[in-house]
Copies of this chain bind each other. A is one copy, B any other.
Amino acid sequence: MATISDVARLAGLSVSTVSRVINKSPHVSDKKREAVESAMNELGYVPLPAARQLRGSRTNTMAVTIPRIVNPFFSYLVDAIEQELDEAGYSTLIVQTFGRAEEELTALNLLKNQQVDGVILCSLENDWSVINGYCKYGKIVLVNEYLKDVDVPIIRGDQYDGFYTATNFLFDNGYKKIAYATGRKTITIMKKESNFDADRFAGFQSSLSDHNLGFNYDWLFTNAHTAEDGKEIFKKIMTLKNKPDVVIAGSDEVAMGISQEAEKQGIKVPEQLGVLGVDDQPASANLRIPLTTIKQPVDEMGRKAARAMLGLINGEEVSKMQICKLKVIKRASA
């Protein structure tokens, strides 16, 4: 890439003259200005923003990965992150992973290529051993999804407690046969606090155990992301001999689909089938059957993640783990 010296050389002028043109100083003749501008054009030279010049080699740009932009939980999470970064003068590049390892590497390679100062990962698509290899190129922060024993700041919801409390809430409201839907293809059973999905399921199962119940594997629905997936889940439930009386839907979108399809087929929500969402999306309160849901503090999580990243960049002490509370929002669907 061309440097300011290359521009000066081609224009036949001093570096300080080039710098004055870049900084729009009035003390430059039109002729010199034109010579510098034409040299810059010829070389494809892009002046660094002033802040970057001051701070050294920083790009003042961050990357944020999210699995799906059309999932409002993630669009609001990235928006909170970006607002906080923006206040600190950073631009943000958003990378959608679609849950694929190679798209996460697209974001991590921005770090490796020094195109961004840091990457905030809102989900985890690669093994930690792979991601960890990128820590030497810049700063990494995890938000939402998490792992145990990693050396980067993590900002996460208390998934175990949230799902334990929510499942107890369903029992308290008279439900006994609780189905469980998740976006994942599989659920790995692990020690507590090791993993987002494992903790959600562990919270759910602990509540079942407290009520002397095991889990019925006919009531597990995996790979559920959209309202369409929710409709399919409802259809599958209808084919079961032993039907659940409530579904923990994994997201508000899936919950919305289950509830819509139930309504279409004349099954009453919440009387014949309860539906519990997760996320508390903006529309959830205003649906025909307002969603009972597990609210994640998305704005708080996003802002904390951005502040952790800014702290790392500025060489401050950053706490390794910040845990935000989930809570059940009671409405009509369960």
Which residues in chain A, 56-90, are within 8 Å of chain B measured between CB atoms? 61, 63, 68-70, 72, 75-76, 78-79, 82, 86
Q: Tell me the bound Cα distance from A300 to B93 in angstroms.
A: 25
A315: Cβ under 8 A from any B Cβ: no
Whether A69 pairs with B95 at a CB distance below 8 angstroms is no
Q: Roughly how many angstroms separate A78 CA and B256 CA in the complex, as a whole number?
A: 23
Beta-carbon contact of B91 and A93 below 8 Å? no
The contact string, 1 if C-beta is below 8 Å from chain B, for chain A 217-237, is 000000000010000000000
Interface size bracket, A side: 35 or more
**With contact pairs A94-B94, A94-B95, A96-B92 given, residues A227 and B44 touching in the complex (Cβ less than 8 Å):** no
Q: Does A29 contact B (CB under 8 A)?
A: no
A130 to chain B, nearest CB (A): 14
Min distance, Cβ A91 to any Cβ of chain B, angstroms: 4
State which residues 93-112 of A face B: CB under 8 Å: 93-96, 98, 103, 106, 109-110, 112
Interface set of A (CB-CB < 8 Å, partner B)? 1, 44, 46, 61, 63, 68-70, 72, 75-76, 78-79, 82, 86, 91-96, 98, 103, 106, 109-110, 112-115, 137, 227, 253, 256, 260, 281-283, 286-288, 290
